Amino acid sequence: MADGGPNSFSANGHAASFVSKYIWTVPASVKRQALQLGLMLAALQFAGDVCRAQSSGADELFPRGSLFPCAAYSVGSGGNVSQARADLLRFRASGFNLLGPQYGLNATVLQDAKAYGLRAIYTVGADVDFLKEKGLPKSIDELAADVMAQVSKVSSDRTIAWWYLAQEELRTWRRDEMLYLERTTEAIRKADPLRRPILMYDAGHRSSAEMALTGLYLDFAAKGSYVNYSGHVDRRAWLAASIQQEVEAARKAPRKLTPLLIPEMFQNAPGGRSDQIGRWVRHDVVRGLIEGAKGLLIFSFARRANFEDYEAYFFAYQMITPVLCGARELGQALLLGEHIPAAVTDLSSGIKDLSIEAFGKTTLVPAVGVRAIRHRGAVYVLLANSTGKEISGSLKGLPVNEPTWSMIISPIQPDSLNKAHFVLGPWGTLVAKAPLPK
């Protein structure tokens, strides 16, 4: 799906504390001022982080390393030069660590990534449009050679973290498209001595069986999970079913696939419900992580005409990314921690399960998603209410009887967690940790 054309806020601990603790209790104009202060301070810290990382052989992004990947399509696209620079600066300062896919800006993605201390997703692909043409425009050997030449030209540049296939949503029932996918991914791997992973965007309606077929040649299970765009604004449990398709595809495919969460940021809130964007974004990201996503790739940060809710969406995402991306603790717990399967929720009120008709089947999704992880002497818990009503309940099966919680992401009222008891407002989320007994 193409466009046209944690680091936390901890450079100053007091600024970080202010942003995280009070940001949801003050007017919007004050929120933006506080956030700008945090970004300015963080930008200075990140400049030092980048220099240190480059000089010390920093860890690689997942799946090649242990850094949690956070990216967005088309950063700096759709505005003037000064706006593009500002967008790139705050992108890095908000914790994002991976630039791209950039579509029309792919020619400058490596230059921009280096300038702003980021890694890059580099797009390659032969000159073929399967939506306009029937069959291949020239022999598959020639097309594969074109792609190999593109990769060879930049393969020595370690700024590149992942490859992105320009042709998206290739259809499993079209022999020429699957042949193209097979041969071009083969060409990429032959031309890349570092064997960096290959990503292709799959359509949001794709099932696990379809993604397992494209997954024969790729390294990611990556489909759009656009809840509002897909018509599920008040049935956000669809997001859980969507990520479950990726996780199932990863189990079915012979290659090891990494599930990615690709949430939305490209249209105004339906029905003028802009005040709910913060809750929607939190829900979609946290529920996606609960279901097993191991990377975040937002579609998209392009500046579109009449997209008045751009800043509201950006603000909502950057309240999460500073604690998730890179080597920050939430991302590290998700990638490296030990899953606690015994942890469950006991709901005292509200709906317990939701029936989702999608992806060619009926799926029962828990109304409240939960994931508990043991990591570095602490238990981490993620909770997400996928209904539009308040739900309360308790946590069962944790490895600590009387947990003392600290919030990793500051909750929005009425969301709360006291020992084992929780309250979640509509689309509410909680992300917390508690020390384990020694």
CATH number at residue 398: 2.60.40.1180
Q: Specify whether 273 is located in the same domain as 402.
A: no
Q: Specify whether 56 is located in the same domain as 180.
A: yes
Got the DSSP string for 351-396?
-SEEEEEETTEEEEEESEEEEEEEETTEEEEEEEE-SSS-EEEEEE
Q: Specify whether 95 is located in the same domain as 161.
A: yes
Residue 425 lies in a domain: yes
Q: Where a domain ends, among 279, 314, 336?
A: 336
What pLDDT was estimated at residue 7? 28
Q: Specify whether 157 is located in the same domain as 285.
A: yes
Residue 302 lies in a domain: yes
Q: Specify whether 346 is located in the same domain as 207.
A: no
* pLDDT single digits (tens) 58-82: 589 999 999 999 999 999 999 999 9
Burial of 203 (0-12, 13-18, 19+ CB in 10 A): middle
Give bridge partners of residue 436 from the DSSP assignment.
Answer: none
Q: Specify whether 267 is located in the same domain as 222.
A: yes
CATH number at residue 245: 3.20.20.80
Q: Specify whether 332 is located in the same domain as 361.
A: no
Q: Specify whether 82 is located in the same domain as 184.
A: yes
Domain with 425, as residue range(s), is 338-435
Q: Give the chain's end-to-end CA distance (angstroms, integer).
A: 49
pTM, 2 dp: 0.89
Query: What is the spatial distance between Cα 297 and Cα 417, in angstroms, rounded to a whole number?
Result: 29
* pLDDT single digits (tens) 86-130: 999 999 999 999 999 999 999 999 999 999 999 999 999 999 999
What pLDDT was estimated at residue 24? 41
Q: Where a domain ends, among 336, 366, 391?
A: 336
Q: Where a domain ends, among 317, 336, 355?
A: 336
State CA 265 to chain mean position distance: 12
Residue 7 lies in a domain: no
Residue 3 lies in a domain: no
Residue 423 lies in a domain: yes
**pLDDT tens per residue, the chain (438 residues)?**
666 442 222 323 333 333 333 344 445 555 555 555 555 454 445 444 443 443 334 589 999 999 999 999 999 999 999 999 999 999 999 999 999 999 999 999 999 999 999 999 999 999 999 988 888 999 999 999 999 999 999 999 999 999 999 999 999 999 999 999 999 999 999 999 999 999 999 999 999 999 999 999 999 999 999 999 999 999 999 999 999 999 999 999 999 999 999 999 999 999 999 999 999 999 999 999 999 999 999 999 999 999 999 999 999 999 999 999 999 999 999 999 999 999 999 998 778 999 999 999 999 999 999 999 999 999 999 999 999 999 999 999 999 999 999 999 999 999 999 999 999 999 999 999 999 998
Q: Specify whether 174 is located in the same domain as 306.
A: yes
Query: What is the spatial distance between Cα 80 and Cα 194, in angstroms, rounded to a whole number?
Result: 35
Look at the chain and report how many structural domains it folds into: 2
